[in-house]
């Protein structure tokens, strides 16, 4: 079932993009771009099935099933590329070239084309051909080392930093190159690597490091959870609250709200790391006396920066998320709404993912393939 779409008035509504199948960051980039109004045509292999877990990540596309390993299949995709503004792929370096769909071939046919390439390690370097996943990429750039408690092991931040930080980098790279292509008439290749993206996200951390304000020891920095004013606390019901009272005035509101303004344990300088373990223990004792929601209500309207830690299924019902429509729930599964928001060209509320190959005939016919050609390709198993 699909939701009723808003007319495609997003800022990318005049952009056509071909997406060569893939997992993780590549379909995420396609989802973001489709949500901003782009016409995204995803190329799947014949017989592919859209898993339940990918129905949200693959939303907003047209789906064309083509066997790229057959020359006629690659040729059909090249016909699509002739009228496309951009193409992106998530293969290992060299795979697109072996399929006859490398950037040299595509840009020769369509000089204005933006050709996006998404990999873990990048198109060159000693590890370019090595397998890997998010955890490997963020491990190599220092991200993973910095996350986790001082007394424990590094903790993967889901796959948000490498995979989806990388996918966002690809989307930004494609849009940036599209601006250049429209100004100059010349396309180019965008090399988006998850290692590069995760390193880029560390820019502020490297600033702290250069200033001598970021210890190499895990769990010892302000943002690592060791500071009593920037961490989470377990409440009486086993749920948690998040505390982000970094600035002095917010910290003062936190201490007052906890009833600890006159407590000698808390009568210390906020930025004195030596006192943090004792202060955190005192805060933890107080937070453990009430439920999460009781604390959320208690601190509502204050400047203490205390908020509930909500589960994935609880988050959409929070009044702030509900008021902004941060999540969509009607006519389909719970899912995040497109973002960011535009005043003149609202992002498109895209449909849930199509079935693999459901748009094959209509899309390829639009690219100039005749009915006879389509019938022949279907009979040969080139398209489905």
Q: How far apart are CA 15 and CA 4, in angstroms?
A: 22
From 15, 10, 198, select the one nearest 116 (Cα to Cα): 15
DSSP 160: I
Hey, which bits of the chain come out as E strands? 16-20, 39-44, 61-65, 86-89, 114-119, 188-193, 230-234, 240-244, 306-308, 327-328, 335-336
**CA atoms within 13 A of residue 99's CA, in its CB half-sphere:** 22
* Angle in degrees, 0-180, between the axes of helices 371-379 and 71-81, rounded to the nearest 10: 140
| Cis-peptide, bond into residue 340, ω within 30° of zero | yes
Catalytic center residues: 133, 163
Q: In sequence order, which residues have a C-beta less than 8 Å from that of residue 228 and are 6 or more positions away?
A: 243, 276, 279, 280, 283
90 close to 22: Cβ distance less than 8 angstroms: yes
C-alpha radius of gyration, the chain, whole number: 25
């Amino acid at each position: 079932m699909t939701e009723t779409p808003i007319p495609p008035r997003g800022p990318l509504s005049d952009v056509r993009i071909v997406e060569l199948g893939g997992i993780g960051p590549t379909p995420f980039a396609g989802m973001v771009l489709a949500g901003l109004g782009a016409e995204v045509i995803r190329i799947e292999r014949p017989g592919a099935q859209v898993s339940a877990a990918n129905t949200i990540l693959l939303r907003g596309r047209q789906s064309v099933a083509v066997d790229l390993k057959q020359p006629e299949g690659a040729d059909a995709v090249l016909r699509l590329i002739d009228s496309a503004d951009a193409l992106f792929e998530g293969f290992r370096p060299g795979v697109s070239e072996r399929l006859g769909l490398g950037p040299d071939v595509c840009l020769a046919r369509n000089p204005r084309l933006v050709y996006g390439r998404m990999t873990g390690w990048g198109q060159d370097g000693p590890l370019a051909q090595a397998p890997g996943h998010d955890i490997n990429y963020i491990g190599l750039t220092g991200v993973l080392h910095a996350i986790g408690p001082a007394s424990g092991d590094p903790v993967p931040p889901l796959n948000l930093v490498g995979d989806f930080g990388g996918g966002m980098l690809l989307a930004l790279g494609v849009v940036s190159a599209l601006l250049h292509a429209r100004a100059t008439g010349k396309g180019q290749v965008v090399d988006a690597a998850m290692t590069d993206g995760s390193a880029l996200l560390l820019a502020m951390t490297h600033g702290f490091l250069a200033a001598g304000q970021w210890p190499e020891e895990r769990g010892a920095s302000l943002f690592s959870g060791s500071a009593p004013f920037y961490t989470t606390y377990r409440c009486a019901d086993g749920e948690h609250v998040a505390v982000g009272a970094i600035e002095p005035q917010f910290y003062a509101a936190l201490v007052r709200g906890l009833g600890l303004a006159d407590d000698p344990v808390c009568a210390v300088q906020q930025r004195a790391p030596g006192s943090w373990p004792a202060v955190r223990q005192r805060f933890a004792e107080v937070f453990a006396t009430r439920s999460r929601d009781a604390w959320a209500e208690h601190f509502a309207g204050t400047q203490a920066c205390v908020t509930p830690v909500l589960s994935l299924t609880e988050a959409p019902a929070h009044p702030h998320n509900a008021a902004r429509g941060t999540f969509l729930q009607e006519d389909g599964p719970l899912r995040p709404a497109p973002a960011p928001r535009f005043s003149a060209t609202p992002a498109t509320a895209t449909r849930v993912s199509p079935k693999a190959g459901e748009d094959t005939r209509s899309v390829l016919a639009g690219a100039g393939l005749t009915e006879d050609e389509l019938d022949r390709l279907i009979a040969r198993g080139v398209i489905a």
